[in-house]
Structure 1
Amino acid sequence: MAWVDVSAGVAGDMLLGALVDAGARPQVLQAAVDAVVPGAVELVRSEVVRCGMRACKMEPVVRTDDLPHRHWSEIRAMVADAALPEAVRAHALRVFRRLAEAEAGVHGIEVDRVHFHEVGALDSIADVVGACAALHDLAIDRVVASPIALGSGTVAGAHGTIPVPVPAVLAMTGGWQVLAGGSGELATPTGAAWTTALAQECTALPPMRLECVGVGAGTKDFHDRANVVRVVIGESDDDPSTAADVVVEANVDDLDPRVWPHVLRRVLESGADDAWLTPILMKKGRPAHTVHALAPARYADAVSSVLLTETSTIGLRRFAVHKTALPRTWVEVEVEGARVRIKIALDNDRISQATPEFEDVAAVARATGRPLRAVLSEAAAAAVAVGLVAGARLPDPGQAADGGGIR
């Protein structure tokens, strides 16, 4: 689990810095950002001091022309279409949806009409995606956070001078413990959205066996307080994340079938690890579907809420299950001059399965105009060429065979 100390404020780059300082690999974060906005943002790491405290500074440097704002629907499509691990995609969509819902409430408009201003810029997109990828890289399955320092005063926004805390931040921190913490904007919309969307509880530092601490720096260096976010990672004996996983399901016979892809996407965004449909025949021979969701127990209520609001069901079933999963990793090979990730499942130290990532293959097929099945076969052959076959050990990156390269 991870406890995020946001008692001095929180911003996207501060979260990035703290998670990298705690051990998240910058190259993994960069790959995730490149999957959403290819070649547009470079994550630059440096060591700085904030009020006498050493901290890691992660700066998203935009390398291309940028729009100052984007619609929620545009960002949603960018993340949904990117070749990301499903957990990273679900977390990023959850953060952006929280922002969109807050902005919609502030401006009195529908969620899909929300026009992100500064939050829609490339550097803010990189902050959110990178911080979500860092959680996945660190294998953190539970996040809790301290009370949030929001700040005070005023700040210049897209619509003029507005009070701090800005309206969207107040909307997202409803139900959380908050404090002013000082003057200026201490909690940005991006930082507040990430914290309140992904942290399951607002609490002081919980009992844990401490493993590591990461310190991430904000841009400003205040003379009276350290402008940092801290991430404390450890294990807790009573961590709810160790509870059994839960399957939530319902039988539905009267839903427009065009709605199902949206339902499954929302279920994954709410915290489920997997979601699927099973065609069934109900009483009187009516055709229907059972919608299933597999989720950690702590997300069962959120998943249930989505199914009850997004489908026509008026009841659900829940039951505990125990999930067994092989360790997984990714290896990149080159196909048609592009990178394609191979998902590797490991049994002890041997490869159990090696499968090309479908979204990567589809992107190559679109870019080259070649048949999807042909690119899929070529990706599988490239994996075999570099030794990614069942029963083999993972080859060293520098020992790739002819016909493909490991990256």
Structure 2
Amino acid sequence: MRQAHIDAFSGASGDMLLGAVVDAGARLAAIEDMLGGLALEGWGLTAEPVQRAQLAATRVRVSAADDGSVVRTWANVRQLLIEAALPEPVRARALGAFLRLAEAEARVHRMAVERVHFHEVGALDAIVDVVGVCAGLHLLGIERVSCSTVAMGTGMTRGQHGLLPVPAPAVLELLRGAPTMATDTPAELCTPTGAALLAEFTDVWGPQPPMVVGRVGYGAGERDLQRPNVLRMVLGESIAGSPTALLLTTTVDDLPGELVPPVLDALRSAGAGDAWAQSVIMKKGRPGVEIACIADPSRSAALREVLFRQTTTLGVRGQLVDKWILERSWLEVDVAGQPVRLKIGRLDGEVVNVAPEFDDCAAVAAATGLPLKEIYARARASWPGEDDTG
């Protein structure tokens, strides 16, 4: 499994995360291409090597014609993302991050979510940061994210609402349940945008899990501080074995069929590795549907909440199960002039499965007008064989 571990020893911000994914190998041009699906003008991205306390890192800057005077509501941002031409996983993650921001601001100001007005986090550069990070992690093929304890600064910071304590109230709301630590650095180390992205993507909080390290990326913050103002992202493959997974199931006989797919989508967005449904016969011979998902045990509470809130169930069953997975890697091939990723599965070093990434194939089909099944077949046929996959 392709995974990323985020080391937030100097906090996190949108630009630090974006710099880290670029430094770890996501092509800036590919991220810009995805961002082009947003109905926004007047922005640009540049990346440059910098030093922060003797650590080399990549600093990604967003240039934006928007000076921050445009105030967007959660509804504005949501509609912008819904209408954008983005890969579905990128759209879902960006919507998730901004919804978390809206809910955090609503709690801080004690108002309804729909009344929340984004200020700094709704500015053009913040939108580009958030969607850019979602695009970068998608391009890197990341399937699982872990994150260390998040460092926090101290003092005060100035926003549209005036002076605010550091950490900002929204940051603490966003990181409820996550490990954080105070430092004596008089600066805002973790921003609301950074906290929202960490909360959205992180599957497990804590030390780096067992993994074979591949690439390491360093994303630089704007300022030079006494501590290295960078965020480190370690990419690699999880170590093969039989990790424990959580299987959650529930059965219902009164949920309309058209509501089942949104429930499955919500489970995946909440951290399920997969979710599915199947027809069952319940008590008194009633036809019903069983909804199930499998995930890391740390996602239990979030997934149970989805099932309770979005279905008609009164109870959820859970059990720990062994999960065996193939060693996985990715290879990018060219199909009709467009990039498509192949997921390669190995058993004891031998390639036993090669599968084109569906979202990539769908995007190429939409761009070229060719049938999806043809794109899929071409991508599979483009696999060069064992000698060229590493």
* 1:100-179 → structure 2 map (5 Å cutoff): 100-175=102-177, 176-179=179-182
* Unaligned residue ranges in structure 1 (runs of 5+): 335-339, 365-374, 396-407
Identity %: 38
The answer (yes or no) to whether the contact 1:333–1:382 under 8 Å persists in 2 is no
Equivalent pair of 1:244/1:322 in contact (CA under 8 Å): no
C-alpha distance 290-208 of structure 1, shift in aligned 2 (>3 A): closer
Give the corresponding residue for 2:264. 264
Q: Over residues 71-125 of structure 1, what are the superposed CA-to-partner deviations in whole Å (9 max), with x where a residue is unaligned?
A: 3234334444545445434433332232222112111123343322211222212
Change (3 A) 1:68 1:314: same
Residue 51 of structure 2 aligns to a residue whose secondary structure is strand
**Secondary structure of residue in 2 paired with 1:131:** helix
Provide the rounded CA distance (Å) in 2 between the counterparts of 1:236 and 1:331.
27
Give the structure, 1 or 2, with the largest relative contact order (CA under 8 Å, sep 6 or more): 2
**Residue in 2 aligned with 1:292?**
292
Moved more, 244-253 or 187-196: 244-253
1:164-197 Cα shifts (integer Å, max 9, x gaps): 2211012223342221341122211011122233
Tell me the secondary structure at the aligned position of residue 36 of structure 2. helix
Relative distance call for 1:7 and 1:265 in structure 2 (3 A) is same
| SS in structure 1 of the partner of residue 190 of structure 2 | coil
In structure 2, C-alpha distance between the alignment counterparts of 1:349 and 1:32, rounded to whole Å: 32
Quote the Cα distance in structure 2 between the aligned partners of 1:390 and 1:205: 34
**Could you list the per-position Cα deviations for residues 206-254 of structure 1 after superposition, in whole angstroms to 9, with x for gaps in the alignment?**
66554332211111123x2322112233456599xx6366553322223
1:354–1:383 CA contact under 8 A, matched in 2: no
Structure 1 residues 172 and 294: CA distance shift in structure 2, 3 A = same
Whole-angstrom distance in 2 between the partners of 1:252 and 1:214: 46
Q: CA separation in 2, counterparts of 1:45 and 1:196?
A: 25
Kept in 2, the 8 Å contact 1:144–1:201? The answer is yes
C-alpha change, 1:284 and 1:145, in structure 2 (3 Å) is closer
Cα drift, residue 26 of structure 1: 1.9
Stretch of structure 1 that moved more, 296-305 or 122-131:
296-305
Task: Select which of 378, 382, 386 maps to 1:389.
Answer: 378
Deviation at 1:346, TM superposition (A): 7.3
Alpha-carbon offset, residue 145 of structure 1: 2.7
Change (3 A) 1:259 1:82: same
- Where 1:184 maps in the other structure, the secondary structure is coil
- Cα distance, 1:153–1:68 mapped onto 2, change above 3 Å: farther
Q: TM-score, normalised by structure 1?
A: 0.74
Q: How many residues align?
A: 373
The 5-angstrom pairing of residues 5-404 of structure 1 reads: 5-37=7-39, 41-62=43-64, 68-175=70-177, 176-204=179-207, 209-222=212-225, 224-234=226-236, 237=239, 243=243, 247-255=247-255, 260=260, 262-278=262-278, 282-284=282-284, 286-296=286-296, 298-318=298-318, 320=321, 378-380=369-371, 389=378, 392-393=381-382
Q: Quote the offset at 1:17 in angstroms.
A: 0.8
Please, which runs of 5 or more residues in structure 2 have no aligned partner? 346-350, 385-390
**Residues 390/359 of structure 1: CA separation in 2 closer, same or farther (3 Å cut):** closer
Of residues 21-30 and 346-355 in structure 1, the stretch that sits farther from structure 2 once superposed is 346-355
Give the distance between the partners of 1:363 and 1:391, measured in 2 at CA.
Answer: 18
Contact 2:66 2:123 in 1 (8 A): no
For 1:219, give the aligned amino acid. Answer: E
Q: Which amino acid letter does the alignment assign opposite residue 199 of structure 1? A: T
**Change over 3 Å in CA distance of 1:68–1:152 after alignment to 2:** farther
In 2, the alpha carbon distance for the partners of 1:77 and 1:362 equals 25
Q: In angstroms, what is the RMSD of aligned CA positions?
A: 4.1
**TM-score, normalised via structure 2 length:** 0.77
Change (3 A) 1:141 1:326: closer
